[in-house]
Chain A
Amino acid sequence: MPRFIAIQAPENGVRLITLQRPEALNALCTELLAELAAELAAADADEHTRAVVITGSRKAFAAGADIREMAERDLVGILDDPRVAHWQRIAAFAKPLIAAVNGYALGGGCELVMCADIVIAGDDARFGQPEINLGIIPGAGGTQRLLRAVGKPLAMQMVLGGEAITARHALQAGLISEITQPELTVERALQVARGIAAKAPLAVRLAKEAVLKAGDLDLASGLRFERHAFTLLAGTADRAEGIRAFQEKRPAHFKGC
C-alpha cells in the first residue's frame, strides 16, 4: 500500500492519483516520488488505463521537495540520488498525463506539473521555482522544461528571482492549458481525461509521442517522425473504424488495435 498517494482505479479508463502528504503541503519526498513512479509504471502496463489524472489538495498540488531530506545529502549523496531515476520514470509515462492543480505548485511540484501533458488549474493556483532562494537550482527539469513552456525571459525571472506566478499569468505564458474554479479542477481534469480515454489508444499514444518530439527535435526530424507515426496508424483497425463512424455519422467504437 502506498503511503503518500491515493489511487482511484479506472473508471472509463481513467485513473486518478492524489498526492497525500498534507502535513508537508505534499512536498515530494523520495518515498512519494518512488510511489508515484511505480504507480505510473503500473498504469502504463495496465491496458484498461487510458489516461491518468494527478492532483494534490485544495491548498497545494505540491509545494516542493522535502527540504530536510535534501539538507542531509552531501555531494556524494546527491551523485547517488535515487530521485533522478524516479523522475525519469515519471517523465517517461507514455499515456496522457493530466495535472489538476490547486494551490501551490512550487519547485519539484512545478517540475511535476511540467511532466504532465495537459494542465488544468484552479484560478488561485501558484507556480514557481523558488530553489534559488535556498542557494540551489531546480534539479528535475525546471531550468529546461520551463524555458520550453514559457520562453526565456519569464523562465529566467522565475528561476533567478524565485517568485511564484499566478494561474492567470501561467495560462497567458503557456505553462498551463486551462483555468477553472478551484472546486471544479479535478472534475474538469477527469472530464478531459475521459474524453481522451474514449479515443483510439494507439493514435493517442503516437500523438503524444509526436507532440513531445516537437520539443526535442529539429523541425525536419519532427516532421519525419510525425509522418512515420501517421503511416503506422494506417494499418490499425481503429483508424478504419474512426473514419467509417465519421462517414456514417455515429460514435466510433475503438478497440485499441
Chain B
Amino acid sequence: MTTLFYLIIYDLPDTKAANKRRARLHKLLSGYGRWTQFSVFECFLTAVQFAKLQVQIETLIKPDEDSVRIYVLDAGSVRRTIAYGPEKPRQVKTIIL
C-alpha cells in the first residue's frame, strides 16, 4: 500500500465555537499523524485513510469562518524537504514504547 505525505495546516478564529472546533480538529488529526507545529500536522496516509479523514474534516469545519489547507506531497518532494530545527518528516514504521 503506497502512502502519500499530507501536510495539514489549519487556522481557526478565536471565538468560543471555533475554539471548540479547533480542539476537536486537533484530536482528530492526532489519530492520523504527527503534530509538528502549533497548527500543523504531518501525516503519511494511504488513499483510504485519507478519504476517511477528509470526510471527517469536511463535516467538522465551517468553510466561511475557518481555513484548513492540505498539501499533498509525493516521496520525491518529501525527500527534498528542508527542515531547520526538528528532523525531517519521516514515516514511522515501528513504535516501541
Interaction A to B: no
| Residues in B lying within 8 Å of A, measured CB to CB | none
| Residues in A lying within 8 Å of B, measured CB to CB | none
